[in-house]
Amino acid sequence: MPSLIKEQFVIRYYEYAKKASEKSDMPILFALAQCALETGWAKHIKGNMMFGMKKGSGRNYGGWTERQTQLITTTEYSNSNNRKFPFIFYGYPIRANGKWKYKIKDVFRAYPSPLYSFIDWAGLLFQNRRYRYALQYKKDPYRFAEEIANAGYATDPNYARKVKRIMKDIEQIIALKKLNRKKTVPMIPIALMLISVAIIAVVVLKRNSNN
């Protein structure tokens, strides 16, 4: 069974992922899993940044402005031991998993609320040519995760495996809490309203006829 922390995460951020999906058709399950991985199930969130998106080219994908930035410590993997970053911690890079591992400080995006981060992230995947092939698998979140990783979303060589493992937990929580159940409009209140309107109309007609 998923832990209470995981359940609280999914319940809290499900609607943000849903709204981002409505704008760009991104898989809700993948959005929540990637967000959980990037933030440690919401334990490490700075500036409402839910997806570890760097400033990059400075392009706005729908929820960010270039003035909203922050300097954050992170880990990067590379085939080169001569990468340039704003700041590299002493002793790095080191060899790990067949690549060079860097501990660095880099410039990341910040947002006024988590919703803007979800929208910006979804816009990046939808608009960036790098992920065009992955978009063919939006209806298959697990394959989608693999193709996003293959396209180079993250430098961690185990990124896809980690995301898919988290997706299984989140899928179970969504089903358990029935978060993806379509909301239906209750018929009884509508029926009562129609009856009330009919009664008022009858009363008005009687008064008019008596006059």
| Tokens coding 135 | 């978009």
Query: Which residues have CB under 8 Å from 26's CB, separation 6+?
Result: 17, 20, 122, 125, 126, 138
56: left (phi over 0), alpha (psi -120 to 50) or beta: left
- Tokens in use for 62? 């729908």
DSSP characters for 138-149?
A: TT-HHHHHHHHH
Domain ranges within the chain, ordered by starting residue: 4-210
Residue 205: exposed, middle, or buried by beta-carbon count in 10 A (0-12, 13-18, 19+)? exposed
pLDDT of the chain, 211 residues: tens digit per residue: 679 999 999 999 999 999 999 988 899 999 999 999 999 999 999 999 999 899 988 899 988 988 899 999 999 999 999 999 999 999 999 999 889 999 999 999 999 999 999 999 999 999 999 999 999 999 999 999 999 999 998 888 899 999 999 999 999 999 999 997 765 555 555 555 566 555 665 554 566 555 5
Please say whether the beta carbons of 53 and 121 come within 8 A: yes
Half-sphere exposure for 209 (CA within 13 Å, toward CB): 6
CATH class held by domain 4-210: mainly alpha
Predicted local distance difference test score (pLDDT) of residue 70: 95
Query: How big is the CA angle at 33 (ends 143 and 164), to the nearest 5 degrees?
Result: 40
What is residue 63's predicted lDDT score, i.e. its pLDDT? Answer: 87
